[in-house]
Amino acid sequence: MKTRHTKELPEKHLPANLPPKVLLENVRPWRHDLGGCLHGCLATLLEHRGIPALPVLGAAWTFRHFPDGVRREEYYYPCASGESLLGALAPYHPVRSRWHRPADAAAGRREVWEAVAGGTPVAVAVDNYHLPFRPAYQDVHSNHLVVVHGFDEARGTVRVLDAVPPAFHGDIRIEELTAARDSGNELVHERDMFFTGVRIGNRWLSLELDAEPGDFPVLDRAEAARIIGLNLAHFAQPATGDAYAGLAGLQAFLEDTVKRLGAGEDIRDELFVASGAVLAGTAVHADWLAHAGRTLDAPGLVEQARAVDRMAHHWSAVRIMAALTRDGGLDAQRLARRVHALLQDQESVLVALEQERAAL
């Protein structure tokens, strides 16, 4: 890892030990067509630490839904109490993330600058309304996540990486990032959908490792069998408590959603946000299966990767359907047909994966 520091005197508002200019190198975009900003940002942070992202982020394939825990954020992912975002995404690897909640915008800027000056890129929560490289600029409020890995106080700029299309990797003005991070993310008009109404709060996300990169599991046949076995055990668990989990929870959640839609309830935001998390996790796991199949010369895993990718596209359809409920463009019967097809394919994939696991 290389860090470039200038030797100019720091600005008065910065801590005395903080350099006025830092740019971390080896910070690269990572993108999956069906993934979002959460996977992209965490992958960039992992790979900066020398950890290939796909084996970590793509290993777990799960379904969990906590009805009271859904947040109107593009980077929402279902987490149990005390669980981190990265811990939920990658429960089979020694990785965690931590949300930092600064007292105000000045503290938020100082904390991120100190982390970057210490050699660590971080992910920051932002409102797209204030970012000049986002299509929503000065139009739509939306809760998003980007990577910060440099700043230049003399020029008044900050280096930002956003792998989500249209994609951006370059400098913006510090005050633009500050406005995006300190935004109330207000719901102003009818185009402010899904990811509004939750204050950004200058939050930022750091990566924490519980093992050295060289001590991470090697993807061999035994490790692939272990991972697939853990995923199968997750989907086989019985329904318990108020949360939805596993195959039984998946079926209950979707069927309950159909009933709620039929009863005239507003299911749009919950279904759109929740299905986005499942969509991204399923799509990235399909890539993990394809990677494992090619690495281990296991063509059956490559075949199942295509089947899991089909499941991701089911979730794409569900997400579109959720949006259609806004104007009455979706009835319960139509959603029920999609749910039936999704559940049938899910069960078929799980049976096939058990066969592939036994063959490893």
pLDDT tens digits, residue range 121-178?
999 999 999 999 998 888 888 899 999 999 999 999 999 999 999 999 999 999 999 9
pLDDT of residue 312 exceeding 60: yes
The CA dihedral of 155, 157, 161, 166, to the nearest 10 degrees, is -100
Q: What residues contact residue 360 under an 8 Å CB cut-off, 6+ apart?
A: 221, 222, 224, 225, 228, 296, 298
Regarding whether 66 and 195 lie in a shared domain, the answer is: yes
Mean pLDDT across 340-346: 97
Single-letter amino acid code for the residue at 288: W
- Residue 239, exposed/middle/buried by CB under 10 A (0-12, 13-18, 19+)? middle
Regarding whether 293 and 174 lie in a shared domain, the answer is: no
Q: Write out the residue range of the structural domain in which residue 311 sits.
A: 221-359
d(CA 325, CA 332): 10
d(CA 59, CA 56): 6
7 — pLDDT class (breaks 50, 70, 90) = very low
Q: What residues contact residue 89 under an 8 Å CB cut-off, 6+ apart?
A: 38, 39, 42, 57, 60, 77, 281
Regarding whether 229 and 179 lie in a shared domain, the answer is: no
Q: What is the pLDDT of residue 138?
A: 83
Regarding whether 173 and 80 lie in a shared domain, the answer is: yes
pLDDT of residue 193 exceeding 80: no
Q: Are 130 and 202 in contact (CB under 8 A)?
A: no
Helix (H) or strand (E) holding 226: helix 221-236
Regarding whether 321 and 302 lie in a shared domain, the answer is: yes
Regarding whether 248 and 206 lie in a shared domain, the answer is: no
Where is the domain boundary, 167, 182, 215? 215
Q: At 257, list the tokens.
A: 């959603």
Mean pLDDT across 49-58: 96
Q: What share of the chain in percent tops pLDDT 90?
A: 73
pLDDT of residue 350 exceeding 50: yes
Regarding whether 99 and 58 lie in a shared domain, the answer is: yes
Where is the domain boundary, 215, 231, 259? 215
37 — pLDDT class (breaks 50, 70, 90) = very high
d(CA 89, CA 95): 10
pLDDT tens digits, residue range 287-296?
999 999 999 9
Q: At 29, list the tokens.
A: 């975009």
Domain CATH number, residue 83 = 3.90.70.10
Helix (H) or strand (E) holding 172: strand 168-173
pLDDT tens digits, residue range 76-125?
899 988 899 999 999 999 999 999 999 999 999 999 999 999 999 999 99
Q: What is the pLDDT of residue 283?
A: 96
3-state secondary structure of 265: coil
Query: What is the count of structural domains for the chain?
Result: 2
For residue 148, give Cα distances in angstroms to 21, 91, 111, 202: 13, 25, 12, 13
Q: What is the pLDDT of residue 10?
A: 35
Regarding whether 57 and 134 lie in a shared domain, the answer is: yes
d(CA 234, CA 212): 27
Where is the domain boundary, 174, 196, 215? 215
pLDDT of residue 9 exceeding 50: no
Q: What is the pLDDT of residue 356?
A: 96
Regarding whether 326 and 256 lie in a shared domain, the answer is: yes
Regarding whether 210 and 228 lie in a shared domain, the answer is: no
Mean pLDDT across 315-340: 89
pLDDT tens digits, residue range 226-246?
999 999 999 999 877 778 999
pLDDT of residue 8 exceeding 90: no
Q: What is the CA radius of gyration of the chain?
A: 21
Q: Are 124 and 53 in contact (CB under 8 A)?
A: no
Regarding whether 145 and 48 lie in a shared domain, the answer is: yes
**Dihedral sign computed on CA atoms, order 35, 243, 208, 216:** negative
Mean pLDDT rounded to a whole number for the chain:
90
More confident residue, 197 or 136: 136
Regarding whether 229 and 197 lie in a shared domain, the answer is: no
